[in-house]
Amino acid sequence: MDMSQNLVILSAELESATFSGNRQRTENLRSCLEDLNLEFAEAVGHYKGKEEVSFVVSINNNAEFEAVTDFALTSFHQESILSQENGQAFLIEQGLYTRSTQNIGTLVEVNPKEVERLENFTIVNNRVYTTK
């Protein structure tokens, strides 16, 4: 997966769900991505210090972006996702009635030894990425 392209990083897991519940949610999200014929890679995400199964999805147009965003924030009730567009990283958060988007820098590869200091990062293809 080319991590420099337009992409979305998302998960289906919820902190309140059981292990088996999160496993089922992850399989459901995988099926949704496959049904849309989207290019994606499975990843290990760390969000707010908690490890979760994540997906890095290649985004080719606005329709794909909207579909993936809706899956994550509406269907799977995620509080946020990470989006990368034209080299800039954005945190997209779902509020009670609206979504907010915040530019959080760029998605960069870091030395795996740095993960001990990071609260949020993604491991895909044995490479570690975070925002700076």
β pairing state of 127-131 and 121-124: antiparallel
Mean pLDDT of 106-112: 95
> Looking at the domain assignment, is residue 27 inside a domain?
yes
> Looking at the domain assignment, is residue 35 inside a domain?
yes
Residue predicted with more confidence, 30 or 119? 30
> Looking at the domain assignment, is residue 24 inside a domain?
yes
Q: What gap in Å lies between CA 16 and CA 111, rounded to an integer?
A: 31
Percent share of the chain, pLDDT over 70: 100
**95 three-class SS:** coil
> Looking at the domain assignment, is residue 1 inside a domain?
no
Instruction: Provide the pLDDT confidence category of residue 132 given band limits of 50, 70 and 90.
Output: very high
> Looking at the domain assignment, is residue 74 inside a domain?
yes
Q: What gap in Å lies between CA 44 and CA 40, rounded to an integer?
A: 13
Percent share of the chain, pLDDT over 90: 85
The pLDDT mean for the chain works out to 94
pLDDT confidence of residue 97:
87
Query: Which domain, by its residues, includes 89?
Result: 7-131
> Looking at the domain assignment, is residue 58 inside a domain?
yes
Residue predicted with more confidence, 115 or 101? 101
β pairing state of 40-47 and 50-58: antiparallel
Reply yes or no on whether the pLDDT at 70 is more than 80.
yes
115 φ/ψ angles, rounded to the nearest 5 degrees: -60, -25
Q: What is the CA radius of gyration of the chain?
A: 14
Number of domains comprising the chain = 1
Instruction: Provide the pLDDT confidence category of residue 28 given band limits of 50, 70 and 90.
Output: very high
Reply yes or no on whether the pLDDT at 108 is more than 80.
yes
pLDDT confidence of residue 1:
76
> Looking at the domain assignment, is residue 72 inside a domain?
yes
> Looking at the domain assignment, is residue 69 inside a domain?
yes
